[in-house]
Amino acid sequence: MSKRYLYSGSTLKTIALEQLRLFFIALQFFTRVPVPSWVGFQPEWLQQSARYYPLVGLVVGLVTSLVYLAAAWVLPQGIAVLLSISAGVYLTGAFHEDGFADVCDGIGGGYTPERIFQIMKDSRIGTYGTVGLGLLLAVKAMSLFYMDAAAVVGALCAGHSLSRLLSAALIWRLDYAKEEGKAKPLAQHMADSEFTFAAVSTLIPLLLVGLLGLLPWSAMLLGIGVALLATVWLSRLFVRAIGGFTGDCLGAVQQVSEVFFYLGVLCSFT
């Protein structure tokens, strides 16, 4: 009997280490946060790590919240918000912002799937990408500027986590639209159980934000609803334009749904 329990304990430890590895894989891919050397990398691990996107978002939300609180202690609200956003951009290597800009350029300047792919693969940023990214960052900053300190912290933690769940939803529901590219390991089908795990993970920051009183429940519900509508609209746009999604589309959904979550929260205050 003792051997059976020892085996069971060893198995649980192995499973826990495997899941921890997947979390670190996602954290390593989407942020600059260093991970232990034993983590390693395999393309299939990156695919399996999609379930941990919301928890990576929570890490980003916590870091940007801490930067905001530290800056707001000695600086005006507007500067604190900008420093918080800058910290998020640095922490993620502008990974999602780059995808959003590529989508703006591709869909704005392309009229066929082939032309859209060609534009999106170009490392140079065009007019649509420049204008779109500038407006996106401006709306993000102004949305947070008009919230009080507690609401900013709550919005950052909840918004970064929720937006990454909605980004993962594209992997879960849509087909991948092309064969080549850095994001191909992300583009395989996401199982229902994996998405359910990601959705449950998203509830952690949302519940904490609500229970701590950082945001009213009504504000979060409105923010979630608005972000979900934006994601559905973008998903349909991608299907019509290119027949599915690419890695750039995931970044675009993350950025847009994050901003629309902030807008929904802000609307509840007016």
Q: What is the span of the domain harbouring residue 63?
A: 42-269
**pLDDT tens for each residue of 143-194:** 999 999 999 999 999 999 999 999 999 999 999 887 554 444 554 678 899 9
Identify which has the larger pLDDT, 30 or 9.
Answer: 30
**pLDDT tens for each residue of 96-146:** 999 999 999 999 998 899 999 999 988 899 999 999 999 999 999 999 999
Query: Residue 38: pLDDT band by 50, 70, 90 thresholds?
Result: confident
Output the pLDDT for position 3.
Answer: 47
The answer to whether residue 224 sits within a structural domain is yes
The answer to whether residue 244 sits within a structural domain is yes
Which residues is 245 bridged to in the sheet? 176
The answer to whether residue 23 sits within a structural domain is no
The answer to whether residue 18 sits within a structural domain is no
The answer to whether residue 215 sits within a structural domain is yes
Output the pLDDT for position 241.
Answer: 95
What domain count does the chain have? 1
The answer to whether residue 36 sits within a structural domain is no
**pLDDT tens for each residue of 133-143:** 999 999 999 99
Is residue 5's pLDDT more than 70? no
> Using CA atoms, how far apart are residues 123 and 194, in angstroms rounded to an integer?
32
Which amino acid is present at 50?
A: A
What's the whole-number average pLDDT of the chain? Answer: 91
pTM score > 0.85 for this model? yes
Output the pLDDT for position 31.
Answer: 93
- For the chain, the distance separating the N- and C-terminal CA atoms, rounded to the nearest angstrom, is 63
Contact at 8 Å (CB) between 159 and 223?
A: yes
The answer to whether residue 151 sits within a structural domain is yes
Output the pLDDT for position 77.
Answer: 97
Contact at 8 Å (CB) between 199 and 165?
A: yes
The answer to whether residue 159 sits within a structural domain is yes
Which residues is 176 bridged to in the sheet? 245
Output the pLDDT for position 6.
Answer: 44
